[in-house]
Structure 1
Amino acid sequence: MEAVLARMRALDERLPAHDGVAVFNRVYLTVTETLHHRIEHGGFPAPRRAETLSVRFAQRYLTAVEAERSPACWRPLLQYRRHPGVRPLQHALAGINAHIGHDLALAVVSTCHALDCAPAALEADFDRVGDTLVSLEERIREDLMPGPDLLEIADPLTHLLGSWSLERARAGAWAAARLLWTLRRSPELAEEFRESLDAGVGLVGRCLLTPSAPKTRTSRAYADLA
Structure 2
Amino acid sequence: MPGFESIDALVARMEEQLKPLERDGDPRQYFHGTYLRTTKAVGAEVAVGGFRDNPWVERWDLAFAQLYLDALEAPRPPRPWAVAFDAAPDLPPLRHVLLGMNAHINYDLPQALLAVIDDAEFDDAALLERREADHRHIDLVLADRVEGETRERIAAGAHLSLLDRVLLPWNKLGTKRFLAESRHKVWSNTTVLAQARRAGPSDYRARLEELEGLVAHRVTELTRPGQVILQLAVQGFGVQLKSTR
TM-score category, normalised to shorter length: 0.7 to 0.9
Residues 28-77 of structure 1: per-residue CA shift (max 9 Å, x gap): 11110001011011112321111111110111111111111101110112
Q: Alignment partner for residue 149 of structure 2, among 130, 140, 159?
A: 140
Structure 2 unaligned spans of 5+: 1-6, 227-245
CA distance in 1, matches of 2:16, 2:225: 29
Shift of 1:141: 4.0
Shift of 1:143: 4.0
Structure 1 unaligned spans of 5+: 213-226
CA distance in 2, matches of 1:14, 1:152: 31
Q: CA RMSD in A?
A: 2.8
More RCO (CA 8 Å, sep 6+): 1
1:32-181 equivalences under 5 Å are 32-80=39-87, 83-84=89-90, 86-113=91-118, 117-118=121-122, 120=128, 122-143=131-152, 147-148=160-161, 151=164, 165-181=178-194
How does the TM-score come out when normalised to structure 2?
0.73
Shift of 1:96: 0.4
Aligned residues: 203
Amino acid at match of 1:135: D
- Give the % identical residues: 28
- Is the radius of gyration larger for structure 1 or structure 2? 1
CA change 1:151–1:33 in 2 (3 A) is: closer
CA distance in 1, matches of 2:165, 2:149: 20
Q: Alignment partner for residue 10 of structure 1, among 11, 16, 20?
A: 16
Shift of 1:98: 0.5
Aligned to 2:212: 198
Runs of 4+ in 1 over 6 A off after TM superposition: none
How does the TM-score come out when normalised to structure 1?
0.79
Shift of 1:210: 2.4
CA contact (8 A) 1:89 1:144 kept: no
CA contact (8 A) 1:97 1:169 kept: no
CA contact (8 A) 2:196 2:207 kept: no
